[in-house]
Chain A
């Protein structure tokens, strides 16, 4: 394998790493190589996918479908396969990945390592619940891990890549009607209405967009999107419509006035009684993927995403956090509110029964201070933050939020006794120091 020293980062670009990276195009050779962390399309925002000063393997060129059964919907794909590509290939045949995160560029390996959730978590659980087998290299040896290998499986799903290098995985896909989604959007005028709509939604896919700049009576206003798979052909094809952000945007792009103006316009776009449209699957699941490199909108210093989940009982605390964010004037247009179900497949999985909030902040000392406060608020309210997004939590916070971390660390340390798979994140949070 050829190594190339590059400077790279997660999607948020605020934390950079420099180190040697190999990008193999064949599996041959990977098994024999010394273990190092693997990453995919680096759609984690913080430092979960970086190894500053050390080596890492870029898996994106290992992206093939290894088997597909049209009867059962079981598909095996290499770790570097983007989840959106599976949807594109198999939705026309009536199957789509059961769980898809907000970007189709997330790879299978990454989806497992983060035990990602989708807009259907309250019904279908997280990604790991639909993984039937993982082929990986554990302690230098090829190994197939299935849900029957209880401890190792639960340590690998959501395990931040710390139990071994994932080579491929078999997923149970879910039936779909076709490539279209029937999407109903309606306005929620304030926090209480927003929560009530999310709580009462019976749709298979539900998500809330939150105007994180609205204050006072309008606090918590937003748009609820509910969707169901449909056989009706969507009109606009996403193909060829993709755009790219060509360079780092200047600071004023996301200034307070611009953001609140955008949010207002976005909110008012929905008619009073709501509206229903047929959208292409990609447009509903991966709304931002059409704009390549949208992270450049935040300028060259990058940004952070704060995402937490708080239990149902802590709804007031969540509201207070939204109030704090609105008052700070630091939020960007991208804020999401979602109801999560109780299911999580791994020891370090993010989801728990409650509500999850995700907000972007452009990198700045003020934003860092605010996120630090929000992290503390989350812990106090009995919630947790999402490792796929985090770049600023402390070791104490992370360990307190994830009660199973010590069991997990013991399992990871057993699978990787040399600590060769540690990343900037596991070191920062001391996740493997029992």
Chain B
């Protein structure tokens, strides 16, 4: 019996690599995103790679109405349901400083939007007694830092939400996995120069699949970030507040 995967934010390059691997394993896919043409291309790619089926839906994390048709579609599928969340947005902290109203959008894209969606999907998954939720957060959520603390706050909120969801859904056989990537070589980081311990979208996809197989709860990618963030989280606040890392 094939599994159905719902992907939020499927056209990001991180999602694209993950989705392709799901396609090659013969899963059914529900791809959602904002760029319709790009979704159509991705969906053709997935079908050519062996996806059992592929449906596309537009989604806007800031508009819960866009969730309804996707949830409805999910309800009509058979077999296990799984979901991976790749959406989020990261404007420059300086842009947010200039226009604090941007905060609402960042929180909606990276936290409240996905959380509302998962809240709607959760009963369906519990009913079927299995499946996986992959929530992509960020190492930025592990500690508020000068450079991107609004984005970090949104990702921290999402990580806490996922932790609670894991606590709830684990009882019904649904595995919830939090993924925390460090810098990834994507369009978002292109032009920022060399980043420490940078990984590739393929690397993230591989780490997610490996984490799923091992039923891990929290996955850092690249793996070194688990250690790096352990250190950063444990710097005492009186010292940390003077640092700019």
Question: Which residues from chain A sit less than 8 Å from chain B, CB to CB?
Answer: 2-4, 22-28, 61, 64-68, 75, 78, 89
Expressed in whole angstroms, the Cα–Cα distance for A68 and B48 within the complex equals 6
The answer to whether A26 and B48 have CB atoms under 8 Å apart is no
Closest chain A residue, CB of each to CB of B187? A25
Q: How far in angstroms is the closest Cβ of chain A from B120?
A: 28
Closest to B13 in A: A25
Please report which residues of chain B, range 40-70, place their CB below 8 angstroms from some CB of chain A when the two chains form the complex.
Answer: 41-42, 44-45, 47-49
Check A67 against B11 for contact (C-beta < 8 Å): no
| Residues in B whose Cβ lies below 8 Å from that of A67 | 44, 48
Q: What sequence of 0s and 1s flags, for each residue 1-24 of chain B, a beta carbon within 8 Å of any chain A beta carbon?
A: 000000000011100100000000
Which residue on B lies nearest to A20, using beta carbons? B191
Given A4-B190, A89-B49, A26 and B35 touching (CB < 8 A)?
Answer: yes
B49 touches A28 (CB 8 A): no
Which listed residue, A25, A65, A75, touches B186 by the CB 8 Å rule? A25
List 3 tightest A-B contacts by C-beta distance, closest first.
A64-B45, A65-B48, A4-B191
Residues of A within 8 A of B186 (CB): 25
B50 nearest CB neighbor, chain A only = A89
Q: Which residue of B lies closest to A4 (CB)?
A: B191
A166 to chain B: closest CB distance in Å? Answer: 16
Q: Are A3 and B191 in contact (CB under 8 A)?
A: yes
Query: How distant is the Cα of A26 from the Cα of B16 in the complex, in angstroms?
Result: 11
Binding site for A on B (CB under 8 A): 11-13, 16, 35, 37-38, 41-42, 44-45, 47-49, 186-187, 190-191
Q: Are A2 and B190 in contact (CB under 8 A)?
A: yes
Specify which chain B residues have a CB less than 8 angstroms from the CB of A28 in the assembled complex.
35, 37-38
Tell me the minimal C-beta distance from A137 to chain B in angstroms: 15
Known: A65-B49, A68-B48. A27 touches B41 (CB 8 A): yes
Task: State the CA gap A4–B41 with chains docked (Å).
Answer: 26
Partner of A2, one of B12, B42, B47, B191: B191
With a CB–CB cut-off of 8 A, which chain A residues contact B16?
25
Check B44–A26 contact: CB distance below 8 A. Answer: no
- Report whether A66 and B187 are in contact in the complex, using a CB–CB cutoff of 8 Å: no
A257 smallest CB distance to B (angstroms): 38
- Nearest chain B CB to A7's CB is how many angstroms away? 13
B190: A residues at CB distance < 8 A: 2, 4, 22-23
User: How far apart are the CA atoms of A24 and B12 in the complex, in Å?
Assistant: 11
Find chain B residues with CB under 8 A from A23 CB.
187, 190
Known contacts: A2-B187, A28-B38. The answer to whether A66 contacts B45 by CB under 8 A is yes
Mostly helix, strand, loop or mixed at chain B's interface? helix
Q: Which of B38, B44, B45 contacts A27 (CB 8 A)?
A: B38
Residue of B nearest to A67 (CB): B44
Contacts of B12 in A (CB 8 A): 25
Assess whether A26 is in contact with B45, with CB atoms less than 8 Å apart.
no
A64 vs B13: C-alpha distance when bound (angstroms)? 12
Instruction: Check A64/B191 contact, CB under 8 A, given A25-B186, A26-B11.
Output: no
The residue on A at minimum CB distance from B43 is A64
Which residues of B sit under 8 angstroms from A89, Cβ to Cβ? 48-49
27 A–B contacts from the bound complex (CB under 8 Å): A2-B187, A2-B190, A4-B190, A22-B190, A23-B190, A25-B11, A25-B12, A25-B13, A25-B187, A26-B11, A26-B38, A27-B37, A27-B38, A27-B41, A28-B35, A28-B37, A28-B38, A64-B44, A64-B45, A65-B44, A65-B48, A66-B41, A67-B44, A68-B47, A68-B48, A89-B48, A89-B49
**B11 to A, closest residue via Cβ:** A26
Residues of A within 8 A of B187 (CB): 2, 23-25, 61
**How far, in Å, is A66 (CB) from chain B's closest CB?**
5
Find chain B residues with CB under 8 A from A25 CB. Answer: 11-13, 16, 186-187
In the assembled complex, the Cα of A64 lies from the Cα of B17 at a distance in Å of 11
Note all chain B residues with C-beta closer than 8 A to A61. Answer: 13, 187
Give chain A nearest CB distance to B48 CB in angstroms.
4
Shortest distance from the beta carbon of A97 to any chain B beta carbon, whole Å: 14
Which chain A residues border B41 with CB–CB below 8 Å? 27, 64, 66, 78
Q: Which chain A residue has the least Cβ–Cβ distance from B191? A: A4
Give complex CA distance A67, B47 in Å: 8
Query: How far apart sit A23 and B200, CA to CA, in the bound complex (Å)?
Result: 14
A contact residues around B37 at 8 Å (CB): 27-28
CB-CB nearest in chain B for A92: B50
For B11, B37, B44, B45, the residue with the greatest tally of chain A CB atoms inside 10 Å of its CB is: B45
Q: Measured between alpha carbons, how far is A61 from B187 in the docked complex, in Å?
A: 9
Cβ of A71 to closest chain B Cβ, rounded Å? 14
| B42 neighbours in A (Cβ, 8 Å) | 64
Closest A residue to B40 using CB positions: A66
Q: How far is the CB of A309 from chain B (nearest CB, A)?
A: 35
Query: What residue in chain B is nearest A76 (Cβ atoms)?
Result: B44
Rounded to whole angstroms, the CA-CA distance of A89 and B49 in the bound complex is 7
Which has the most chain A C-beta neighbours within 10 Å: B12, B16, B42, B44? B44
Q: What's the minimum C-beta distance from A123 to chain B, rounded to whole angstroms?
A: 27
Once bound together, how far apart are the Cα atoms of A28 and B39, in whole Å? Answer: 12
Return B166 CB to nearest CB of chain A, in Å. Answer: 31
What's the least CB distance linking B76 to chain A, in Å?
Answer: 27
Complex contacts, B11 vs chain A, CB 8 Å: 25-26
Which residue on chain A has the smallest CB distance to residue B42?
A: A64
Query: Taking the nearest CB of chain A, how far is it from the CB of B28, in angstroms?
Result: 18
The CA-CA distance from A380 to B152 in the complex, in Å, is 67
Q: How far is the CB of A19 from chain B (nearest CB, A)?
A: 13
Min CB distance B40 to A, Å, is: 9
